[in-house]
Amino acid sequence: MVMNTTPKGALRGQTTYAGGSTLLATTQRQFERAAAVLGIDEAIVERLRHCDRQIIVSVPVKMDSGRWEHFVGYRVQHSNARGPYKGGLRFHPHVDLAEIEALAALMTWKCALLDVPFGGAKGGIQVDPSRLSEGELERLTREYVRRLLPNIGEYLDIPAPDVNTSEKEMAWFADEAGRTLMRPVPGIVTGKPLDSGGNVGRKEATGRGLGTVVLELLRRLGKDHLTAGIAIQGYGNVGRQTALFLAEQGCRIVAISDISGGIYQARGLDIDDIERHLRENPGSLLDSYHAPGIERIDNQRLLRLPVDVLIPAALENQITPEVAQTTEAKSIVEGANGPTTLDAQDLLVERGIVVVPDILANAGGVFGSYIEWLANTTGSEWSLERTREAIRTSMLRAFNNVWDRATEKNGNLDLRAAAYEIALERVVAAMNARYC
């Protein structure tokens, strides 16, 4: 059943974002390609083309000035064929329904590919959080929770952090849900602080999983990870944790960037020194970092550098056909969700540039969330070492499955097509078991 819950006036002042529509079209076309290859029954294809539920809410917030503002919030639940809905919550001024719908579908395929018993969902609020005070941000988060209930729950739909949200917002989320339901519900959200039921390895999970995939890809391609050049677009949690992990392994990271721009050094950046600078200067960006020999570059230059591995870990739609035609990267590992448009993907395959898709590359966070949810709902204990090894094992198993599927097709290394096919097979099998 598809439900669109739209309160009167909720869309007032809403803006549209072309990127969301592009991402949705790309996601749908990739899914339809996989369905055609697998010969999936059209009735099932039609069900998966649409989300189970689209929830749009007005989120009124009393600002510090005393005036009231209304923000638009979304929660899209794509499919729960394999388990409870699961997906992040982002705060961003460009959030729109198309973007959230696409990201919810990506979560369905990501969970299935990693063989985690969750379905796919995504949420967001159309807001620039940098313009809100701490108190306004907390009131916004708590009101959003109240508006979503009872459409979320420990065994129904479990949000997590995403763009511009962190363990702080997740702690508010869990607390407000517990207050409203009048009982503790730590498993209703993942990515919480340790003292609120979080997991010790959750914050680093996406980055370490991504780094694990990078190392395995280099090994498969016959590249020495100690000498291979790596560039990372985006230095938020995913990009940062990936850089830290790869630096620990001795990798040569030649470029990183954030919203202030990028820095490049062919012989390799000193990630430890960069981290020291950022710790000593809270709130600072990469444009404030200075060291001998570094070159200032913009994000477009970073995407075209002659590197062995390019990691787009910012927002969607960064690898356009123009970038795909001109990049000198030998391979791409997607840290962000939907950073490559479908037309760009086709060009990259034609050029022989190997792309590890988002639903595989950044799925370590999903497994980390699964571990936290298990601990919250069953009382099981997970040490940092056990968490790291479980994520590593899961990521390598998924990577090997995708690589083997792709190479079976006359050596065609279209890893995205292979990943979607494996994920779709698993979702369809669950649907057949439940509904037919």
pLDDT of residue 173: 98
Task: Write the CB contacts of 401 (distance below 8 Å, at least 6 apart in sequence).
Answer: 113, 422
| pLDDT tops 50 at residue 179 | yes
pLDDT of residue 20: 67
Under the banding of pLDDT at 50, 70 and 90, the label for residue 312 is: very high
Task: Write the CB contacts of 55 (distance below 8 Å, at least 6 apart in sequence).
Answer: 3, 4, 5, 74, 75, 76, 77, 148, 151
pLDDT, tens digit (0-9, with 9 covering 90-100), for 288-298:
999 999 999 99
Buried b (16+ CB within 10 A) or exposed e, 119-156: bbbbbbbbbebeebeeebbbbbbbbbbebbeebbbbee
pLDDT of residue 18: 53
pLDDT of residue 342: 87
pLDDT, mean over the chain: 93
Is 203 labeled as catalytic in the residue annotation? no
Say what angle helices 384-408 and 97-113 make with each other, to 10 degrees: 90
Distance CA 79, CA 52 (A): 6
pLDDT of residue 1: 30
pLDDT, tens digit (0-9, with 9 covering 90-100), for 242-273:
999 999 999 999 999 999 999 999 999 999 99
pTM given for the model: 0.91
Task: Write the CB contacts of 113 (distance below 8 Å, at least 6 apart in sequence).
Answer: 359, 360, 363, 398, 401, 402, 419, 422, 423, 426
Under the banding of pLDDT at 50, 70 and 90, the label for residue 189 is: very high
What CATH number belongs to 3-198?
3.40.50.10860
| pLDDT tops 50 at residue 7 | no
Catalytic residue among 122, 192, 203, 330: 122
Q: Where are the domains of the chain?
A: 3-198
| Of 11-20, 40-49, 89-98, 175-184, minimum mean pLDDT range | 11-20
pLDDT of residue 413: 81
Mean pLDDT of 78-105: 96
pLDDT, tens digit (0-9, with 9 covering 90-100), for 22-59:
889 989 999 999 999 999 999 999 999 999 999 999 99
pLDDT of residue 316: 86
pLDDT, tens digit (0-9, with 9 covering 90-100), for 402-425:
999 999 875 668 999 999 999 999
pLDDT of residue 9: 29
| pLDDT tops 50 at residue 2 | no
DSSP-assigned letter for residue 305: S
Under the banding of pLDDT at 50, 70 and 90, the label for residue 5 is: very low
